[in-house]
Amino acid sequence: MPKHNPRLSRFKARHRGETCVLVCNGPSLNKTDLGLLKRQTVIGLNKIHLGLDQFGFYPKYLVAVNEKVIQQSAADLAAMNCVKFIGTKGAQYLPEDALCHHINTKSPPARFCRDITAGIREGGTVTYAALQIAYYMGFQRVVIVGMDHRFEFSGKPHEARHMDGPDVNHFSPAYFSGQSWDNPDLRRSEESYTIARDIFAAEGREIIDATQDGACEIFQKQSLSDIFDG
């Protein structure tokens, strides 16, 4: 697949002026009223499929860029009935089709990519990748839930580790249990979030962090119930 993917141009400004919700994968999802998202445009991240039977919503879009995540979940992701944006580092595990679109994450052209047909920057977290996609699609307001921004791990950022026992860092104890995962890089994530926040704000758009008891301090905070049930 070429680095530039013209198939993605169909999503340009598709949701101009609208609100979307990025659903991350932190444990706080288990104490959040996600039924509030049933009628919202949801962008799910990574292994969100593990919780869909209990969450009460179904994503319109799915973003996964980490090679390990894509390899481990390829069959489940392929079965999801939503539009998928899959990073090229793991694209060999999930071929393009009517719902699946490969997106260049190997050689992105900018720190924040406004044109996703040329690629997106991972920035240390799939959430940052999804924010670039949301920007391209024209969303006026992006609400984030499940971005706990705290992890239990040993070793250095980005170091590959094998998780023994239940996964305490995600909403499902089976998320990475018995599998390999990459240590988070919270400092790099915060740098990326700051860039996204400032770019959105410069255009009169906003990113709101509605994560219950989330540790990230980059975005404006507001409760999910105040946003969608207030």
- pLDDT tens-place string over residues 124-147: 999 999 999 999 999 999 999 999
42: containing domain: 6-228
Angle between helices 126-136 and 186-202 (to 10 degrees): 10
Kindly indicate the confidence band of residue 191, based on its pLDDT and cuts at 50, 70 and 90. very high
Whether residue 223 is contained in a domain is answered as yes
- pLDDT tens-place string over residues 31-69: 999 999 999 999 999 999 999 999 999 999 999 999 999
Whether residue 17 is contained in a domain is answered as yes
Structure tokens at 25: 């994968």
What residues contact 115, with CB distance under 8 A and at least 6 apart? 109, 136
Whether residue 105 is contained in a domain is answered as yes
What do you get for the CA distance between the two ends of the chain, in Å? Answer: 45
Whether residue 84 is contained in a domain is answered as yes
**pLDDT above 60: residue 25:** yes
Other Cβ atoms less than 10 A from the Cβ of 115: the count is 16
Whether residue 1 is contained in a domain is answered as no
Whether residue 211 is contained in a domain is answered as yes
pTM: 0.96
The number of folded domains in the chain is: 1
Q: Which of 153, 150, 126, 140 is nearest to 211 (CA)?
A: 150
Other Cβ atoms less than 10 A from the Cβ of 39: the count is 9
We report the CATH number of the domain holding residue 77 as: 3.90.1480
Whether residue 180 is contained in a domain is answered as yes
Whether residue 214 is contained in a domain is answered as yes
